[in-house]
Chain A
């Protein structure tokens, strides 16, 4: 895979059709918008090294309830924009007065972005088996720019990780990750995820992670 460090304004290609994420087209040429790594495939994408999470409909995220209004929970989703979880998006029919009984301020939830309007009003839902209140396990936070690497191509990295460490893992696109399993398993999962976070921009990461897990497990037994 052809990768290169680029800074904003770098010329990437003279073929406007190859413009992908993190790029823009001017006078028929493709330039970088970001400081990050350019991936030269059919399309040229620039992956940033830093930046804030901007919600996109369909994203799974982990949020913390920070306020309750008449019919909405206001949820911090680790982004410049707050999420709104409407009472009707709760899996059970509940009354407005009872809202804080189910999700109170400080509750962590696994949720999904359903809609983002042009003024960046972010709507969330809990209507899915996978989603809901976090009652056990732990949540860790990494940079959201590393999440694609943690998931891997077609989910290869994350499914391997789930199997190897024997934990339930929910990855939020906003960089928050929920892990649930045995104490030792969770520790190992945590160590592995920090390693992925730290070395996200290196080549052949999946193989190294497999080796890392093997030696860590060998040390344990």
Chain B
């Protein structure tokens, strides 16, 4: 945006001190909810997102049920306090779209045929938003699905790339998303099959290719963090068995 006087780079670094191809700090915690079958809390920079998975369980309302496979329902929701101006609570056009594309990003890896006539419910709640909540939501949902013991062909990792001041950058933050030239979130399996690709803004074919490559690299890094979080949960279970029970008592 030429008309704004925002400068996105200072001494070759971004406003928050990152390099162009650097992710924001990520923190992943598995099994944070006692009621859910699987759950995950993720922080990606300023994004704070919690995902809960229920199921496979009986489908209500009945008419949605399918005879040969499980259906997947994904609900993306933003808390009213997640953004600076209060967000009007409840589903809106944007959250419905995000729910649909996120569900379609995860469905290809879930073995729905194992559980005919049932539903797998995924709830994603955004507690704090800072650009890239759909990618954070998908990352959290994928870990929560694994935690719930749902059979999947692989994990799904998601990351965005963008363009500001004619430079391709990884994982845009709020300022870069709001005043930048393009935003390109992707979701993919660790071996590079893309299950979600959206674009907002404009990129030349060459820039597009570079942005996709950069986002894929970011997603691979996130996959390692997702994997670590799951392995860590297991080793905690071995070291201090019964920790879960203590959680319930709290």
Q: Indicate if B116 sits at the interface (CB-CB under 8 A).
A: yes
Categorize the interface residue count of chain A: 20 to 34
| Chain B nearest CB, measured from A32 CB (Å) | 9
Contacts of B234 in A (CB 8 A): 5, 37, 49, 201
- The main secondary structure of chain A at its interface with chain B is loop
Kindly identify which residue among A35, A118, A120 contacts B149, using a CB–CB cutoff of 8 Å: A35
Q: Known contacts A33-B111, A35-B230, A199-B241: does B56 contact A120 (CB below 8 Å)? A: no
Within 107-163 of B, Cβ neighbours of A (below 8 Å) are at: 109, 111, 114-118, 146-155
Contacts of A118 in B (CB 8 A): 68, 116
Q: Known contacts A9-B190, A50-B37, A119-B117: does B153 contact A201 (CB below 8 Å)? A: no
Whether the pair A33, B151 counts as a contact (CB closer than 8 A) is: yes
Categorize the interface residue count of chain B: 35 or more
Whether the pair A36, B190 counts as a contact (CB closer than 8 A) is: no
Q: Known contacts A80-B58, A198-B242: does B149 contact A7 (CB below 8 Å)? A: no
Kindly identify which residue among B57, B191, B230, B241 contacts A7, using a CB–CB cutoff of 8 Å: B230
Q: Indicate if B227 sits at the interface (CB-CB under 8 A).
A: yes
Within 47-91 of B, Cβ neighbours of A (below 8 Å) are at: 55-58, 67-68
Whether the pair A50, B154 counts as a contact (CB closer than 8 A) is: no
Whether the pair B153, A36 counts as a contact (CB closer than 8 A) is: no
Q: Indicate if B13 sits at the interface (CB-CB under 8 A).
A: no
Contacts of B117 in A (CB 8 A): 80-81, 119-120
Docked pose: A37 CA to B231 CA in angstroms: 10
Whether the pair B230, A80 counts as a contact (CB closer than 8 A) is: no
Q: Indicate if B199 sits at the interface (CB-CB under 8 A).
A: no
Docked pose: A67 CA to B200 CA in angstroms: 53
Q: Known contacts A35-B230, A119-B117, A202-B238: does B150 contact A51 (CB below 8 Å)? A: yes
Within 170-202 of B, Cβ neighbours of A (below 8 Å) are at: 189-191
Whether the pair B155, A7 counts as a contact (CB closer than 8 A) is: yes
| Chain B nearest CB, measured from A172 CB (Å) | 18
Docked pose: A201 CA to B115 CA in angstroms: 26
| Chain A nearest CB, measured from B244 CB (Å) | 8
Whether the pair B149, A202 counts as a contact (CB closer than 8 A) is: no
Q: Indicate if B237 sits at the interface (CB-CB under 8 A).
A: yes
Q: Known contacts A33-B111, A118-B116: does B241 contact A8 (CB below 8 Å)? A: no
Kindly identify which residue among A34, A51, A120 contacts B116, using a CB–CB cutoff of 8 Å: A120
Docked pose: A118 CA to B238 CA in angstroms: 37
Whether the pair A34, B151 counts as a contact (CB closer than 8 A) is: yes
Kindly identify which residue among A7, A54, A198, A202 contacts B146, using a CB–CB cutoff of 8 Å: A7
Docked pose: A34 CA to B234 CA in angstroms: 13
Docked pose: A138 CA to B238 CA in angstroms: 29
Within 1-47 of A, Cβ neighbours of B (below 8 Å) are at: 5, 7-9, 22, 24, 26, 31, 33-37
Docked pose: A171 CA to B158 CA in angstroms: 42
Closest to B58 in A: A80
Q: Indicate if A145 sits at the interface (CB-CB under 8 A).
A: yes
- Sample (19) of A-B pairs whose CB atoms are under 8 Å apart: A5-B230, A5-B231, A5-B235, A7-B146, A8-B151, A9-B152, A26-B153, A34-B146, A49-B149, A49-B237, A50-B149, A51-B148, A51-B150, A52-B56, A81-B118, A119-B116, A119-B117, A199-B241, A202-B238
Task: Please list the residues of chain B having a beta carbon within 8 angstroms of any beta carbon in chain A.
Answer: 37-38, 55-58, 67-68, 109, 111, 114-118, 146-155, 189-191, 226-227, 230-231, 234-235, 237-238, 241-242, 245
